[in-house]
Amino acid sequence: MKPKLSVLIADDLEIDRWLLKDAFHTTASGFQVVGEVADGEQVINYLAGRGEYSDRQRYPFPDVLLIDLMMPRKNGFEVLEWLQEQSFPKLRVVPMAAHYEIASLSPRHRALRLRVEHFYSKSVTYEERLWSVQALQQQMEAGKANFL
């Protein structure tokens, strides 16, 4: 049996974090959600093992980071910029955003500069969210996931 991929969910909306955790629990047996954070500063502290996140038994380093591009304190773009300066070789990053949040050219260009060619939409029905999580698992199991 393959070990489960650990997931950190970074989203400022509690309901979105809950829906994602539920989708992983319901449809993606290959993943285990190991943490959730509500802003970009918390993401950086979690990944760097700073402060309360220094206890790796309680806050293990994830295999996958699902990150909302539009969050308070530090947004997802700022976290992606920080990640480019780090060396976390096993971390796979899956950006998420509502379509309207990156509809204008400025955020799109910023995303492309950060090598974000695709993001998962947050503007979906519950069934579409389940399907997206299943598809993510299948892509990662097949080694076809082309994320940051």
Range of the domain at 82: 5-141
We report the CATH number of the domain holding residue 32 as: 3.40.50.2300
Helices (H), the chain: 14-27, 40-48, 76-84, 105-113, 126-141
Residues of the chain above pLDDT 90, percent: 39
Task: Indicate the pTM of the whole model.
Answer: 0.85
Closest to 130 in 3D by CA, of 19, 37, 3, 32 = 19
Q: Tens digit of pLDDT for each residue in 99-119?
A: 555 555 466 666 666 666 556
Q: Tens digit of pLDDT for each residue in 4-41?
A: 889 999 999 999 999 999 999 998 888 999 999 999 99
Give how many domains the chain has, as a whole number. Answer: 1
User: For residue 93, what pLDDT is reported?
Assistant: 85
68 assigned to some structural domain: yes
Q: Is residue 148's pLDDT more than 70? A: no
